[in-house]
Amino acid sequence: MSKSSAQYSQYPQHHPHDHGRAYQRRPAAAAAATAIPLPATDDAYTIVHAGKQVRFGPVVFWIVVGTVVLLGLWSAATATYFAFRDDVLTRLIARQAEMQYAYEDRIAELRAKVDRTTSRQLLDQEQFDQKLDQIMKRQTALESRATALGAMPDVTGSIPRAAPQRGDSSQATPKPSPISDTVIFVAPPDREARLESRAPTVAAPPTSQFARNNGFDNVLVRLTNSLDQVERRQMAALSAVEESMDSRMRRMRGVVSDLGLNLAHLESAVPRSAMGGPFVPVKLTANAGPFEKQLYRINTTRAEMDRLNRTLALVPYRKPVIGEVEFTSGFGVRSDPFLGRPAMHTGLDFRAATGDPVRVTANGKVVSAGWSGGYGRMVEVDHGNGLSTRYGHLSEINVRVGEIVKIGQVVGLVGSTGRSTGPHLHYETRIEGEAVDPQKFLRAGVRLSAG
């Protein structure tokens, strides 16, 4: 064995050939050590260095050898550690960096998911706001339509209207009234308040978000359906008004046609009332909808109907007495009640009691009021355009010549003056001074009022 530059020799106790002798080797270097064998009485190891010898027992020797081996292994392990330390550290750092990057990626993914959720919620809220704004605008339009319909005297019944109130959009629910078709719902709060109220729910579970979106969609659907129903009823009411006005217009024109009158001449005889103002033509906007167009037609028809009403106010197609009409003598040839010979009866005799009021059947001007031969006390009213009416056998006259009378005004009381056999009203209608059958006018009035 050797350690440093020394040479070691081993001398067993019983050697068969070299007992008592020692082997020597030359030193390998200038400072080489020489091991000198010594006689030994037991198993031992001797180390000789520079003329000195050290004896070791087997146990101590192997302890030293084991220590040297352990130190060698430790040195090798230490050398290996230092040799590969950089690689281990690099791998550890890379592992930590990889874990950090994975964590950051996960954080970024969660943040992106939260951002997408927030964006989706904001988009849903904006879509909800847009739809709700459209409903509010539609509601305002329906309110204006209801106001326009309410201003029309021809519209009967309840007009659907919508009344908004302020509050939370999550509580917006249509509440149709059982009596009227009123739609009541609350409008959403301000946008900032909505976003603040929704901020804590950004990370809400998808199921709750889905349920909330469904809730909003259901609210919008209910509101839309309710407004659709109101709009349909408004359109139905408007159509009913238009149909009624068209029907009345046809009947009014039919009255003029049946009586053989000239409408243009009648209109020219209508007295002008005190009115005026700048001329502003009526026109529809480019984006006018069906309701506006129908309302325009109705307003045009109404203006024409008002003109016809003023014209027909001069046509005597109404009854001169109140109550059930009963004739005691018709228009045409009859047997004279006094002479018993055929004679022309120029009017209708209405059964009535003395003192019953006699009413004028059309607007006009009194041209005669006093005693008139066989008529007795008689009132004649000129209605213009050649039309006039006479009221005979009156017991009392309540108007004077030149007075302007209106439809239904009492011009006198039933009596039996003149050529009369009893209390009754003698009523005549004349065109250009010629007597015509009053029943023709009365039947036209019945047809007109029947609608």
Where residue 371 sits, what CATH number does that domain have? 2.70.70.10
Q: Is residue 378 part of a domain?
A: yes
Among all chains, which residue has been given the structure tokens 């109705």?
Answer: 298
Domain boundary among 241, 256, 276: 241
Most confident of 181-190, 194-203, 420-429: 420-429
Q: Is residue 178 part of a domain?
A: yes
Q: Is residue 293 part of a domain?
A: no
CA distances from 189 to 34, 79, 172, 255 (A): 108, 75, 11, 59
Confidence at residue 42, expressed as pLDDT on a 0 to 100 scale: 55
Domain boundary among 196, 221, 241: 241
Confidence at residue 155, expressed as pLDDT on a 0 to 100 scale: 52
Pick 88 or 3 by higher pLDDT: 88
Pick 113 or 55 by higher pLDDT: 113
Confidence at residue 212, expressed as pLDDT on a 0 to 100 scale: 57
Domain boundary among 241, 260, 293: 241
Domain check: are 340 and 446 in the same one? Answer: yes
Q: Quick check: 119 and 195 in contact, CB under 8 A?
A: no
pLDDT for 57 beyond 70: yes
Q: What is the mean pLDDT of residues 53-75?
A: 84
E-strand stretches of 116-207: 162-166, 183-187
Instruction: Give residue-wise pLDDT tens across range 203-227.
Output: 444 445 555 566 677 877 888 888 8
Residues 6+ apart with CB under 8 A from 248: 305, 448, 451
HSE, side-chain direction, 13 A CA sphere, residue 127: 10
Domain that holds residue 365: 327-450
- 76: alpha, beta or left? (left if phi > 0; alpha if psi -120 to 50): alpha
Phi and psi of 52, rounded to 5°? -110, 150
Helices 290-312 and 58-150 sit at what angle, rounded to 10 degrees? 10
Confidence at residue 214, expressed as pLDDT on a 0 to 100 scale: 65
Pick 404 or 287 by higher pLDDT: 404
- Tell how strand 404-405 and strand 364-371 pair up: antiparallel
| Mean pLDDT for the chain overall | 77
Confidence at residue 99, expressed as pLDDT on a 0 to 100 scale: 92
Q: How many domains does the chain have?
A: 2
Query: Of 153-157, 286-290, 413-417, which gets the smallest average pLDDT?
Result: 153-157
